[in-house]
Amino acid sequence: MTNPLLPRWDTPFQIAPFGAISDDDFSPALDQALVAHNAQIAAIADSSEPPTFANVIEALESPCRELDQVLSVFFTVAGADSNPKREELQRDFSPKLAAHSAAITANKALFARVAAVWDARADLNITDEQQRVLMLTHRGFVRGGAALTGAADKRMQEIKGRLATLGTSFTQNLLADEREWFMPLGEGDLEGLPDFAVAAARAAGAEKGADGPVVTLSRSIITPFLQFSPRRDLRETAFNAWVARGEGGGETDNRGIATEILSLRQERAQLLGYNSFADYKLETEMAKTPDAVRGLLMDVWGPAKSQAEADAEILTEMMASDGINGDLEPWDWRYYAEKRRKVEHDLDEAELKPYLQLDRMIEASFTCATRLFGLQFKPLDVDLYHPDCRAWEVTRDGKHIAVFIGDYFARGSKRSGAWCSAMRSQAKFPEVQAPIVINVCNFAKSDPALLSWDDARTLFHEFGHALHQMLSNVTYESISGTSVARDFVELPSQLYEHWLEVPEVLAEFATHAETGAPMPQDMLDKVLGAANFDMGFQTVEYVASALVDLAFHEGAAPADVMAKQDEVLAGIGMPSAITMRHASPHFAHVFSGDGYSSGYYSYMWSEVMDADAFAAFEEAGGAFDPERAKALEETILSTGGSQDPGELYVSFRGRLPGVEALLNGRGLAAK
């Protein structure tokens, strides 16, 4: 029988036929796809024709359909619906794929042809977009080690393979810790928890096969528990389990893995002639240098720390009024911050949450895209990889634009966090292909599904990434959609979060789950008035993580990753009642792969731009100003990586922004 992963799919919009695919299909399909891709690469490298843009660069841009299909399906289910077989396959595939990629970069005949086209670039009659693709291709080969020879070349291949294996192990260890731990709750332990948190705990208990409600390490369950439970002892137990992911000893301990990853990254950078991995990694980003990154982070750290320390004094007084003497601890902060928010803003998350129904928030994100960019969303009835998934066809003026898939609920088989990926990216070469884009989140499942304010922001954030993919309008897949500098990729996503806070959007879509009544005006005012509540805490936990990430990758790799983390936190004066958002043993952004390594700062770098970019709408005709929306699509959302990101932003805004917009947006500017 034909392996269902390999033929061109005769399905609606060529969506993967998930129902026909079994786990046993992946390994043989990958082997066949790698053979096909190797033949494609060999034909380019060994050609006797003089190297040209068409027979080298465009030939490399021509996708290996079989390999793309296998990997798009596998990595979708491996991240969002894993099982022991898929985890085993991932451990097998990671070094195999790393070796395959490394062999392409190390192919001297292929690199010679790429270099020949690059050297002749001044005489080529090609478009600006093609010049960009040529530059990125050549740069990618050089940065991948293509110019290395002898022992250095061999060592580079070894490092790449080992890093792939370690990244997979880090991710799977983290998933195992998150999957295995839960804390049973007796009926008396539910005191103080709002109905939505109790419902989520009961649903989690049913999923775990427990006799009653449980707290798990899913952020959408543990965060409300830390916010609302008056049981300080249970909060401490849950919090300590949450922050100890990846450092519990035994087979799933990630500390040694993280240390080895940092050592190998530093060696890799030095093989390529860089002083540090941070120098290597940041060279291609907007920031360019570690000093520029640290400058931004420290500009924000001072005001954020001052605000957090002032807030800590207030929370400590509240704790003392409850008869608890001693220091404010990390497991106390969210509980007393929530009580403070209720007092100062008369805003209770338990009262707010019924107005933030998942289905209505999805509708809100779609409607904003309709008003801004003319997109329409029609539900699709197609087989997907899990019953919780939903799909929509995206059109504009009757023309098919994309397929959008949403996978919103937490489950034990899904890694933590939220992300956007493209199962197929937009391109026009060698043939027109529309994107298939997926948003994956980890919201607590209930009926109806209700979101926290942070959950709703996450939904809009990931849909901003999806718009970047869906509205892409470039020729070549390698520069399509979110294939941009890491510190630019978060601009569209963080910018889109602003539309959640537009009063008319909330007035229309924030409706009560039981009565259908719109959010009362006074509650709407409180929500918007409390937008920057506890921002000192949020900024400190984020910036601390970004500074630790940066320090990890500057200079010699640390011999002990935890000792280095502690050194950095002590050096910046980390408040004792706040922890890093991601401690090193579960810092998946940094250690599950190279994506955000030395780049976790990029969320804040992009936030400098997103605050300024939304101001452009406010300065014009408002949040839905058609001219600004058109400019946003034409200069940023449709252009992918076809131009330098700084140039793209200036095209949209007329200038680059300063940090003031970010400080004002977070309420941290000097009063």
Of 305, 308, 306, 318, give the one whose Cα is nearest residue 344: 318
Entry field: residues in the chain: 671
Categorise residue 657: left if φ over 0, alpha if ψ from -120 to 50, beta otherwise. Answer: beta
DSSP 389-418: -EEEEEEETTEEEEEEEEEEE--TTS-SS-
Q: What is residue 215's three-state secondary structure?
A: strand
Bridge partners of residue 419, in order along the sequence: 440
Q: Give burial (CB, 10 Å; 0-12/13-18/19+) of 515.
A: exposed
Is 178 among the catalytic positions?
Answer: no
Q: What is the DSSP letter of 419?
A: E
What is the distance in angstroms between the CA of the first residue and the CA of the last residue of the chain?
71
Q: What is the DSSP letter of 520?
A: P
Structure tokens at 393: 């066809």
Q: Which of 66, 285, 393, 462 is catalytic?
A: 462
Bridge partners of residue 402, in order along the sequence: 394
Residues with Cβ within 8 Å of 401's Cβ and at least 6 positions away in sequence, in order, are 375, 394, 395, 434, 470, 471
Contact in structure between 239 and 219 (CB atoms under 8 Å): no
Q: What is the dihedral of CA 231, 417, 492, 398, to 10 degrees?
A: -110
DSSP 113-153: HHHHHHHTGGG----HHHHHHHHHHHHHHHHTTTT--HHHH
DSSP 7-73: SPP-SGGG---GGG--GGGHHHHHHHHHHHHHHHHHHHHT--SPP-IIIIIIHHHS--HHHHHHHHH
As a whole number of angstroms, the distance between CA 26 and CA 337 comes to 48
Buried b (16+ CB within 10 A) or exposed e, 465-491: bbbbbbbbbbbbbbbbbbbbbbbbbbb
Contact in structure between 488 and 650 (CB atoms under 8 Å): no
Residues with Cβ within 8 Å of 370's Cβ and at least 6 positions away in sequence, in order, are 376, 377
Strand 399-409 and strand 436-443: the pairing is: parallel
Of 178, 609, 653, give the one whose Cα is nearest residue 416: 178
Which amino acid type is present at position 569?
L
As a whole number of angstroms, the distance between CA 92 and CA 85 comes to 11
The rounded radius of gyration (Å) of the Cα atoms in the chain is 25
Which amino acid type is present at position 91?
R
Of 342, 175, 306, 348, give the one whose Cα is nearest residue 573: 306
As a whole number of angstroms, the distance between CA 580 and CA 543 comes to 8
Contact in structure between 161 and 100 (CB atoms under 8 Å): no
Residues with catalytic function: 462
